[in-house]
Structure 1
Amino acid sequence: MSQQQQARQRQKREILSNDDKERLKERLNTSYSADILTIARHFGSRPLATTARVTDIDINGITIEWQWADATKRKSATDEMQFAFRDISGPSSVLHEVSNLAIEAHKALGLAGEPQLTKDKREVDAKNLVDFTFRLPGALTMASIAFGVWLLTYMALVNNVHPRLRFIRHWVSQDTCYHLFVWALIVHALEAGAVYAFCYLLKVIQPQQMNTNTQLKWTLGVALFGIACLHDFAKRVSRQFALVGAN
């Protein structure tokens, strides 16, 4: 293994400190013990499990141990299972992973409502996380931008323009239109690249806020509609930084 790979492995192991692990275990085993039991009953195929608790958390996953009544031996038996994590970024993403497990187990067992962890996490996220769901600009805005792009492209690339548009040539030469066209492409490409990079960073840090599909939508939206989409994206980023600063 190269030194670079070893450094990445060390960094990965250090994402969760020992204090983080202990705090997460205590929180899951006290505030969300019912959700942990639901996970054990479903994924452990022990619907009659009586108790369950988290015994270990590390970068690879969470280990849950549960007890169930073994009728054949007339005594309690103990099993455990490790649930693998995706590439986590910190304690918050651990809770997100466990919440997903609890939701799946809840649905599989046909339980009403939703896990308590999911409810609490959604309330916390609503106070601390901005919704980055992509939305198209208004129809009038998109139509105006589409017309402007078409007109600039036409005036930049066509020598013998339509008679009704020749008056534009008296004000703006074809060379000027061509330079504006090239600069517009460059600016839109830079804007789209910056949004793509920021979305990627957000996807790593807060995967519940951003996924690959939304990242591509924002990138394509900014590439096509420029400032109209970029302004919306920048406002959400500004609100997110304001929330982080307030906390």
Structure 2
Amino acid sequence: MALDLVTIPALSDNYTFLLHDAQSGDTAVIDVPEAGPIDAALNERGWTLTEIWLTHHHADHIQGVEELKTKHPAKVTGAAADASRLPPLDREVADGETFSFGGEEVHVMDVSGHTVGHIAFHLPGSRIAFTADSLMALGCGRVFEGTMAQMWESLQKFLTLDPETTICSGHEYTQKNAEFALTIEPDNTALISRSDAIASARARGEPTVPSLLSDELATNPFLRAGDEPVRQTLGMTDAPAAEVFAEIRRRKDAF
């Protein structure tokens, strides 16, 4: 039986996610920006929270953990490399390790760059990846702690996943990301179409997250730094893809 995935808006522009296995009753939440919306979603469905998975230490991803645990005592999983900056962990994990949830393997991916020690959780059986502020819908996170090369290397890891993987990222930044992406690939018909669909969704108050990896591959400039149209726009036809990525990230930072 497939796992149930619920997208929950939180704070002003964050997302958190519930993952539920109906057979066992196990339920995980991925990042805790605030406790209230998660508690409400659990109560609405009659689910019992059993696990909390944390991607990185930024406050808007962990600040609700303590409050949430007062009502839902759940096992907390996070990166061993970042344990000193996370809430107390019951399970410390590292790149390449796996653990079980809902009869599936959860693969841990180190995707440092936005922060050092940022991890993603990938469930190949259900084709879901929780990427938070690494790979985002039409974007990627700012490089705060790592290096541009490190972030590029992290993003490359997502290229190995099934293109039909659902990418669950951490923020509602997609419309602004689309506006920027069009400055890099103004003639990308898939991007133009996606941008129009995003604008319509936001006008209706609908979330644009999660997204499909196949759509990111076709439209996300941060994954397309090695593609010829992107290189030509930037005048970097002979530059290594990592350098092209760094230039795109610098332009986005100033956009």
Structure having the larger proportion of residues in helix: 1
The normalised TM-score by structure 2 is 0.23
Please identify which structure carries the higher strand content: 2
Higher-Rg member (1/2): 1
